[in-house]
Amino acid sequence: MSLFKVLDVSASAMSAQSVRLNTTASNMANADSISSSADTTYRSRQPVFAAALDRAQEDQNAVGVKVAGIVESDKPLLREYQPGHPMADADGYIYRPNVNVMEEMANMISASRSYQTNVQVAETAKSMLTKTLTLGQ
């Protein structure tokens, strides 16, 4: 029955959104992780979503979401001159991550709203299924 696929699709969206929430949490947690070299500094991580179209199936009504990968942001790191800092390098610079906390907050709200919407879709599909199963009783 095709309503079971609705549950699969919203489940795939929920797991994709929770990956997004995970990366957001990781970014915000590391927003102040100072490092003494550019290579070891934490960089903002963002998931890339893709429609799960890869299966060669005849019936393509239901298209789930998959996380194609997680990319690290190319934005320049913040280099600060703080010679007194214990993590400062030989020239007296420290490196801050390229995490934009405001962007991450917006991302977090968007992810949790999308998650919520998909939970509601799954609930509606469940009630449609229950009604179908009790047909004629």
Residues that bind other proteins (CB under 8 A): 1-3, 5-6, 9-10, 12-13, 16-17, 20, 48-51, 56-65, 110, 114, 117-118, 120-121, 124-125, 127-128, 131-132, 135-136
Contact 89, 39 (CB under 8 A): no
From residue 125, alpha-carbon distances to 52, 54, 104 in Å are 20, 24, 31
CB of 48 to other proteins, least distance (A): 8
Q: Which is nearer to other proteins, 41 or 118 (CB)?
A: 118
Contact 93, 82 (CB under 8 A): yes
CB of 129 to other proteins, least distance (A): 9
CB of 4 to other proteins, least distance (A): 10
Q: Which is nearer to other proteins, 40 or 137 (CB)?
A: 137
